[in-house]
Amino acid sequence: AQRVTQPEKLLSVFKGAPVELKCNYSYSGSPELFWYVQYSRQRLQLLLRHISRESIKGFTADLNKGETSFHLKKPFAQEEDSAMYYCALDPSNTGKLIFGQGTTLQVKP
């Protein structure tokens, strides 16, 4: 079955510390993967897509097909990074996204 797993409901770090939000997926084909972020009282926003290999707001994510993972990383967390982060899989590039349960990132001063 196609599935996205984010094992941590809450990740709490201090400002300036490195951050890694974990995402594992289950899909037999070539995955399209995304990271979405939702800041307090704002709509869900696209943060990263794996195919672009870009860095947004200092975040990067590398697709590891061997480990079926797409972890989101940032070397130095900022307080404004505090938000809910969702990993999402688009099987077969259909637009029918499968979301993980989300991880709340809390960056403490």
**Where on the chain is the footprint of another protein (CB under 8 A)?**
34, 36, 43-46, 49, 51, 86, 90, 94-102
- Quote the least distance from Cβ 14 to another protein, whole Å: 26
What Rg do the C-alpha atoms of the chain give, in angstroms? 13
Q: How far apart are CA 59 and CA 71, in angstroms?
A: 10
Sign of CA dihedral 6, 10, 15, 16: negative
CA angle 57, 63, 65 (to 5 degrees): 170
- Quote the least distance from Cβ 34 to another protein, whole Å: 6
- Quote the least distance from Cβ 64 to another protein, whole Å: 20
Q: Which is nearer to another protein, 7 or 16 (CB)?
A: 7
Q: Which is nearer to another protein, 17 or 44 (CB)?
A: 44
Q: Which is nearer to another protein, 34 or 77 (CB)?
A: 34
Q: How far apart are CA 18 and CA 75, in angstroms?
A: 4
- Quote the least distance from Cβ 102 to another protein, whole Å: 6
